[in-house]
Structure 1
Amino acid sequence: MTKRPSDDHLQYHAHVYFDGQSLALATSICEQAGELFAVKVGRIHQRLVGPHLRWSCQLSFDQAQFDQLLPWLENNRQGLSVLVHAVTGDNLADHTRHAAWLGEELPLDLSVFNA
């Protein structure tokens, strides 16, 4: 069973994953999240970045935004996978122990944190 996101930290990232067919959907979701919840919307990466093995867009938010953003993402992701993780300064822990998923859990390239 996939671990669900919980509000245990001060800062978070949510990575919305997409491909060429779902680019417009992911862009719309991220832009709406930015407008509705005043979260910081990162680049819409149409290439692999960091540990992410699919294209992604990062949403940056804090504990105060968590309880409204996460249910909205769950209800509006339309089948896209979303990685939600804490931002503690320990990238490996943030993407493993402090991480949870909305939708399908996808593999990550954690070797980038060993460099």
Structure 2
Amino acid sequence: MSEPWLYTYPSPLEGYEGLEPLPNEKAEDGKSFVNPPADKKSEAYNAFPSPIRNDRRTGFDVHIYFLQGDEAEVKFANELWERIRREFPELRIYRVWDRPIGPHPVAMFEVNIYTPEQFGAFIPWLVINRGPLSALIHPNTDDELRDHSQRATWMGQPFPLQLKFFQKAKALTEAVEKIKLT
């Protein structure tokens, strides 16, 4: 379901059309390019770009997976969960599930990130501290299927999600809405 041709993509240069060409001058390292200074910092430092949510529903979810039959992974996951709760109390941290739930094919726990600042702090921390565990990072927009597939980023070994879960959930929501209208 993550086939890119299913979606449309605006030009990455939208809003930057008609500007002078960028210089080809190399920076001191001899590899990267010198960039002209910006008039102001990108708004992405302060808020997630649309259509990512910037409300209490959260901008990003991080699902941290472990194999429920592997004693060492279970122990590590529980210790990581506790450490995250202590070090990042401002994040929403859910219970540890000891079995698959929803579209998630193995045991996991979820962490919600609300701001770019939190994302910038937590994700590098998780890169270093996640140990043998895998993590799915996805934005929250109004398209859960796309968020969990085409817009998802993985750390470690990816797990195949049960994406039909979202199709069934969408069909159920549409049926309930139809009943409300009648």
Q: TM-score, normalised by structure 2?
A: 0.56
Task: State the identity %.
Answer: 31
Pair 1:76-2:129 in alignment: yes
Q: Which has the higher strand share?
A: 1
Unaligned runs of 5+ in 2: 1-47, 169-182
CA displacement 1:25-59 (0-9 Å, x = unmatched)? 11221221222122111110011111100101001
Which residue matches 2:113? 61
Q: Partner of 1:4 in structure 2?
A: none
Verify: 1:40 aligned to 2:108, yes or no. no
- Which structure has more relative contact order (CA 8 Å, sep 6+)? It is 1
Q: Distance in 2 between matches of 1:25 and 1:40?
A: 20
CA distance in 2, matches of 1:30, 1:88: 25
Structure 1 residue ranges, 4+ long, deviating more than 6 angstroms after superposition: none
1:89 corresponds in structure 2 to 142
- Which consecutive unaligned segments of at least 5 residues does structure 1 have? 1-6
Show the counterpart of 2:63: 15
TM-score normalised by structure 1 residue count: 0.86
Larger radius of gyration: 2
- Paired residues, number: 109
Q: Distance in 2 between matches of 1:47 and 1:79?
A: 18
8 Å CA contact 1:87–1:94 kept in 2: the answer is yes
Distance 1:97 1:31 in 2: 30
| CA-atom RMSD in angstroms | 1.5
